[in-house]
Amino acid sequence: MGISRIIKKFEKVKKAVNSIKGIQSKIQSINYTTALDSLGESQEAAEAILSTRRDNLQGALGAHKRVGMAYSKKSPVIEGEEGALIYPKYDKLANYIFFVSRPRAVKANAKTSTGDLHPVFKRRRCALYIPDTLLSQSNVSYNQQGIGFVAKALEQIRESIMQGDGLNIGKEKANQLATQGFQAVLSQLTSGQTNIKQNRAINPGLEQLLDSVPFRSWDFTFDFWPKSQDEAQTVNEIIYFFRSSMLPDFYTDRLSMKGEKLREGVEVESIQEGENQLNANFMNYPNVFNISFKGPIGNKIDGFLPAVCTNAQVDYAGGQKFSTFADGQPVHIQLTLNFLEIQTMSLGNYDNIVVPDSNPMKEETGFSTTDSLTQQYGVDGNKFGDDG
């Protein structure tokens, strides 16, 4: 069959029908079932293959999705810290900032209405992602003070006496003091004109005297975007963890129930009777936090001294338009925490928290650490530097 005859047949079919069904019936009426039928069969086979491949691909993607969803529901476990509150709940991060709330002293009714020990009297832990801003600073305070000629002369006399030559040096310094004293009195009587005429000014003898080492403070801001009800519950528990740990409990000092064991290994020496009382006499110190890093970052960034939480600000809109899920849970919560260290940053304390690779002396310095009465917070008597 020549090409010209095929073209003529196609033109004849095209003129005879105007629809796909008409084309098919017309082609069959003229007994043209060779090339077109073959093409149709090839198309059907190709469509069947594509359909099979599409079904297989969708099934594979569905299986991977189910596996991924099952995996995402598993909470990450930080080595050695099972049971801690963790955010994000379903994503395993390389680094965490870790907060340990040490148990506070039991001086009030430590049991809840269900008979359990209140969480603030237990050791609690929380692991959060590393915040966007992490600023570490150390300050030393100096006080400017003038040391006059009288103080300097007296110090020289003291040194000469300690060296056994106090008599001769004492007479010499006494003459200097008399001369300088007379000049100072004369300058005051003449309103400084004597010094002006002689083109001179009194040297105030200013010195920078070491005053103190201020306590360091830390600010952390965390943004929570819960993806499930379980993660939203974890976020709420994290907020309660910090706020309950920072607030003191009030109590009246009464001796009763002595020797009662409220938790394993801890017996109460002093506890008030009954429920919470009005106009309580004392406030019990809140929990102290040990803050540290978990992960590789802990070997690169200096650590923290024991600290107390002084502020826990919760923004239930996260700085944006307020919105909630169907159950009323806020979509975005922003938590801002402020911590104040309770020990000063001495050289000994710094050697205890510095990154090991940054300290050439490591543990060979032998400098003592500063301590304070606040080390008596924990009911177990351990130091705050011990996370155990």
Cβ contacts of residue 51 below 8 Å, gap of 6+?
none
What does pLDDT average to over the chain? 74
Q: How confident is the model at residue 160 (pLDDT cuts 50, 70, 90)?
A: low
The percentage of residues in the chain with a pLDDT greater than 90, rounded to a whole number, is: 28
pLDDT of residue 263: 46
- Summarize pLDDT for 285-299 with one digit per residue, the tens: 999 999 999 999 988
What is the Cα 154 distance to its own chain's centre?
A: 53
* Mean pLDDT along residues 171-187: 62
Maximum Cα–Cα distance across the chain: 144
**Where would I find the H helices in 32-165?**
35-72, 149-162
**Given pLDDT bands bounded at 50, 70 and 90, which one contains residue 200?**
confident
Q: Which residues contact 178 (CB under 8 A, 6 or more apart)?
A: none
Mark out the alpha helices in the chain (DSSP H runs): 3-16, 20-29, 35-72, 149-162, 166-189, 193-197, 229-246, 347-353
Sign of the CA dihedral running 122, 371, 286, 329 = negative
Taking the CA atoms of residue 79, residue 85, residue 87 and residue 93 in that order, the dihedral angle to the nearest 10 degrees is 0
Tell me the two tokens of residue 101. Answer: 């709330």
Reported confidence tier of residue 156, pLDDT bands at 50, 70, 90: low
pLDDT at 262: 46
Question: pTM value?
Answer: 0.65
- Domain spans of the chain, in order of start: 3-70, 81-140+215-376, 142-212
Region 235-255: mean pLDDT is: 88
Q: In what order do the strands lie in the sheet with 333-341?
A: 85-87, 124-128, 96-101, 289-294, 307-315, 333-341, 217-224
Question: Six-digit token pair at 378?
Answer: 């924990």
Q: Give pLDDT, residue 168.
A: 58
**97 Cβ contact list (under 8 Å, min separation 6):** 127, 128, 129, 130, 131, 220, 291, 292, 293, 294
What CA–CA distance (Å, rounded) separates 146 from 205? 5
Residue type, 291: I
pLDDT value for 328: 93
What's the mean pLDDT in 87-108?
A: 90
Q: Please provide the DSSP assignment of 11-64 as one string.
A: HHHHHH-SSHHHHHHHHHHTT--SHHHHHHHHHHHHHHHHHHHHHHHHHHHHHH
pLDDT score for 7: 60
> Using one digit for the tens of pLDDT, what is the confidence trace for 12-52?
655 654 455 555 565 556 555 555 555 556 667 777 777 77
Please state the φ and ψ torsions of residue 191, each to the nearest 5 degrees: 55, 35
- Tens-digit pLDDT profile for residues 58-67: 776 665 555 4
Better-scored residue on pLDDT, 260 or 378 = 260
Average pLDDT over residues 134-158: 76
Q: What angle do CA 182, 188, 190 make, to 5 degrees?
A: 100
Is pLDDT above 60 for 167? no
Q: What is the mean predicted confidence (pLDDT) over 217-224?
A: 95
- Higher local confidence (pLDDT), 101 or 44: 101
Q: Which residue would you say has higher pLDDT here, 139 or 164?
A: 139
Instruction: Output DSSP code: residue 75.
Output: P
Question: What is the pLDDT, as a whole number, of residue 188?
Answer: 60
Q: Which residue has the higher pLDDT, 268 or 115?
A: 115
pLDDT in the model for residue 116: 82
CA distance 218 to 251: 30
Q: What's residue 250's pLDDT?
A: 84
- The answer to whether residue 345 scores a pLDDT higher than 70 is yes
Rounded mean pLDDT, 66-73: 50
263 vs 242: which has the higher pLDDT = 242
- The three-class DSSP label of residue 108 is coil
> Which pLDDT score, from 0 to 100, does residue 203 have?
74
How buried is 333 (Cβ within 10 angstroms: 0-12 exposed, 13-18 middle, 19+ buried)?
A: buried
Task: Determine the pLDDT at residue 379.
Answer: 36
Residue 276 near residue 80, CB atoms below 8 Å: no
Q: How far apart are the C-alpha atoms of 229 and 73, rounded to whole Å?
A: 11
pLDDT of residue 81: 63
Q: Are 101 and 245 in contact (CB under 8 A)?
A: yes
Is the per-residue pLDDT at 329 higher than 50?
yes
190 to 105, 176, 223, 278: CA distances (angstroms): 66, 21, 68, 68
More confident residue, 252 or 331: 331
| Mean pLDDT along residues 160-185 | 62
